[in-house]
């Protein structure tokens, strides 16, 4: 699917270019993402605690006038999103015995992202921006930093399977933000992206029973939430 993003971007842009007599401008966009996750957990399980992470974004940018105030600003970006997070869980072992454990993890996601943003230009060099965001996951890195039992700090009574990340390839969200025109060609941008679809889930087995292969897991369903700061230059 990622192979159709660039042709789709080009066809979409040229189709709209014919709708206005004002010139279309082409350029580049680079910036930084400050990202976090919204998460939900299964019943009876405390949710994860997250810390913001930083990633880069960059790619192609266009400014297509629809009239003298309304513009379409599609961009095709390489975009990194992710976070570090911690969760606690209870491990039951033997009979009527349990221990508290905690786990620290890193998850970084890399997307090819298409953003057909609609902009309204005010008379004060400021544009108001909103529009959908469609991302295709091209890679991810999930690391378990440590997994510690509270009883003794290091050793466990039983070795449990490592947590697993089950990814989703498509991320759909909404962008809302502002642009400030330093010049006609140099633009500062900030926007908030809220993901609508689950980007995947983290699953951690917390109990492995010996009767009927009984087992229990903590499951955390994740969605992206990102604040971006970027600079665009139009040629």
pLDDT tens readout for residues 115-138: 999 999 999 999 999 999 999 999
Domains and CATH numbers, the chain: 2-234 (2.40.160.20)
Strand-pairing partners, residue 154, are: none
Q: Is 39 exposed, middle or buried (0-12, 13-18, 19+ CB in 10 A)?
A: buried
pTM of the model: 0.86
pLDDT in tens, 64-74: 999 999 999 99
Q: What is the pLDDT of residue 153?
A: 47
Q: What is the pLDDT of residue 3?
A: 56
Instruction: Please list the rounded mean pLDDT of every run of 10 residues in the chain (235 residues).
Output: 55 51 91 97 93 97 95 97 94 76 95 97 97 98 85 60 95 98 97 97 86 79 98 97
Structure token digits, residue 126 = 């400021």
Token pair 């599609």: residue: 74
171 contacts 111 by C-beta, under 8 angstroms:
yes
Q: What is the pLDDT of residue 49?
A: 95
């Amino acid at each position: 699917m990622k192979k159709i993003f660039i042709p789709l971007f080009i066809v979409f842009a040229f189709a709209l270019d014919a709708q206005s007599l004002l010139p279309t401008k082409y350029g580049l966009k680079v910036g930084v993402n400050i990202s976090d996750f919204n998460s939900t957990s299964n019943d009876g399980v405390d949710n994860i605690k997250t810390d913001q992470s930083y990633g880069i974004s960059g790619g192609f940018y266009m400014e297509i006038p629809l009239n003298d105030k309304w513009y379409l600003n599609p961009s095709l970006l390489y975009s990194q999103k992710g976070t570090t997070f911690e969760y606690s869980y209870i491990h039951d072992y033997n009979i009527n015995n349990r221990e508290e454990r905690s786990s620290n993890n890193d998850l970084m996601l890399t997307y090819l992202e298409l953003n057909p943003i609609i902009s309204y230009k005010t008379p004060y060099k400021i544009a108001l921006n909103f529009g959908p965001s469609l991302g295709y996951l091209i890679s991810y890195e999930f690391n378990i930093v440590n997994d510690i039992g509270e009883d003794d700090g290091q050793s466990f009574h039983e070795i449990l399977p490592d947590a697993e990340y089950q990814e989703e390839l498509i991320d759909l969200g909404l962008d809302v933000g502002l642009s400030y025109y330093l010049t006609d060609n140099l633009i500062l941008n900030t926007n908030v992206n809220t993901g609508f679809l689950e980007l995947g889930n983290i699953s951690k087995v917390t109990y492995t029973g010996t009767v009927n292969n009984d087992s229990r897991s903590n499951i955390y369903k994740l969605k992206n939430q990102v604040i971006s700061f970027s600079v665009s230059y139009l040629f």
